[in-house]
Structure 1
Amino acid sequence: MKLFYFTASGNCLAVAKKLGGELHSIPQVLKEGDFTFEDDQIGIIFPCYAVSTPTIVEEFLEKVKLKSDYIFGIVTYGKTHGGVLEHFEKIAKKNGIELSYMNSLLMVDNSIKFYDMDKQIRDQHTKRIDEHMEMILEDIQSRRELKKTSNFLMKYLSNLGNHMYKKEVGDYDKKFTVESHCNGCGVCEKVCPVNNIHVNDRPEFKHNCIRCYACTHNCPQNAIRLKGEKSKARFRNENVQLREIMEANNQN
């Protein structure tokens, strides 16, 4: 089984590790340029951004050629996933990818723009993550077929969210500031999945941001701030090490 994942704060990588199989980072696949894959089972694991599909995952779906009789998608989310599963399936189908199974997993939301990370971390036990993960694992092992549908309002919210999200990306990094205790370690550059950061004593942003917040959550000094953030707390999934996120995302 081959698993393709995109992660910023570790949630999707933790899910991929739990499912097992051969892991492939979506940013590294895009960097290396080999887009043809075949296996008995293939999975795509990604986070929900603005109740929609991240642009980097859309790019992956547009370029990749997958051959399998069982392809599945898992989306992680923190509040609501809206109609993201159908949005994802629509993009996949447009590019010749037929999905047998789609499901969602409620986890910690890493959006410091909308959520108080202190509360997200404190309340994560209420989300029954391990229990729901085991259910998904059983589904995949038994090759269950499942397509979840959303009502009109959820589909509308996902389309609207996708439109607003795409308007924000790029220059979104102009909302970041770097505090004086930054020591120029370069971690932010190595966890950025789109090569948007160059560290020369201090981070310099290139305005190609996809609003994943990998730089903010993984900064060892907690020195990168977002204008209007709900708290200064940061999050990385406890089952994932910083080294793993750097290996997954580093574009240099």
Structure 2
Amino acid sequence: MKILYYTSTGNNLFIAKQFGGDLISIPQLVKDNEFDIADDTVGIIFPVFFATSPKLIREFVEKVNIRTDYLFLITSYGRDGDQNALRIMKETFNKRGITVNYTNSVLMVDNFLPVFDMAEEIELKKDLNIIGEIEKINNDVLAKREYILDKELFTDVENIEVVLENTMCEKYRIQVGKDCSGCEVCTKVCPRGNIELTGEKPSFGDTCDFCLGCVHHCKTHTLTINDEANPDERYRNPNIKLSEIIKSNRQTI
């Protein structure tokens, strides 16, 4: 079994690790230009970004050639949009002649800083039985159950992908404060390789997924979103190490 995953703050890597098999980072596949995947079972685990998936994932799904008897999709989500994100990916695969056998979702802490107060969000989700939910899904996968999550579509956005990019670029901006230490963590956790140090401070290119990994993992909390009220509130899945996220995402030597 091969598990392909995209992680920013560790939630989806945590899910992926519960399945076992060969864990393969999608950002690393893209970096190495590897788009041929073959195994008896293949899973894709990814986060919901504004009722769809990260742009890098959508680009990957348009290119990857998956040969398998059983393909499953799992997404993590914080509020809504899980069904829409899964449906978009499933339909993309179907148009390319690739059958999706199973889709499901896992409710977890939402780390989208412009919307959620992290302290409140962590407190709200503290009693979730995440392990139990993942175990149920894993049992389905091991049994190769055929199931497609089918809930009411998120219908108030006509073109979710376009709205996502416009919202991220126009409404929210990552700012660099004066206390940057030049530690380069932000450059290492970026799944796009979109950040480099210029004059010992990070500068951003134009391929940002707005995953906010750079902001959440900033050691000095120098990176902020607009003029956020609580810049010290950050999140990383407590079961995942920063080194694991760097290994998953790092695009440069």
Both proteins in one fold, TM over 0.5? yes
Residue 4 (structure 1) shift: 0.4
Where does the alignment leave 5 or more consecutive residues of structure 1 unmatched?
none
How far is the alpha carbon of 1:168 from its aligned partner? 3.5
- Are 2:187 and 2:196, in contact at CA under 8 Å, matched by a contact in 1? yes
Q: Report what 2:226 is aligned to.
A: 227
Superposition map of 1:159-198 within 5 A: 159-169=158-168, 171=169, 175-198=173-196
Aligned match of 1:5 = 5
Contact 2:14–2:239 (CA under 8 A) maintained in structure 1: yes
Deviations 1:146-203 (A, max 9, x none): 112233xx2424654333103245x469711112221000000011111111013111
After superposition, give the CA deviation of every residue in 1:77-113 in whole Å (9 maximum; x if it has no partner). 0011252221121112123321100000000111001
Q: How many residues align?
A: 249
Measured at CA, do residues 76 and 174 of structure 1 come closer, stay the same or move farther in structure 2, by a change above 3 Å?
closer
* Aligned Cα root-mean-square deviation (Å): 1.7
Unaligned runs of 5+ in 2: none
TM-score normalised over the length of structure 2: 0.93
**Percent identity between the aligned chains?**
35
Q: Is the 8 A contact 1:6 1:12 kept in 2?
A: yes
CA distance in 2, matches of 1:192, 1:173: 20
Equivalences for residues 1-252 of structure 1 within 5 A: 1-81=1-81, 82-151=83-152, 154-157=153-156, 159-169=158-168, 171=169, 175-200=173-198, 201-229=200-228, 231-232=230-231, 233-252=233-252
Distance in 2 between residues matched to 1:173 and 1:184, nearest whole Å:
26
Distance between the aligned counterparts of 2:161 and 2:230, measured in 1?
25
SS at match of 2:127: helix
What CA distance in whole angstroms lies between the structure 2 residues aligned with 1:24 and 1:245? 12
The amino acid across from 1:212 in the alignment is C
What is the TM-score of this pair, normalised by structure 1?
0.93
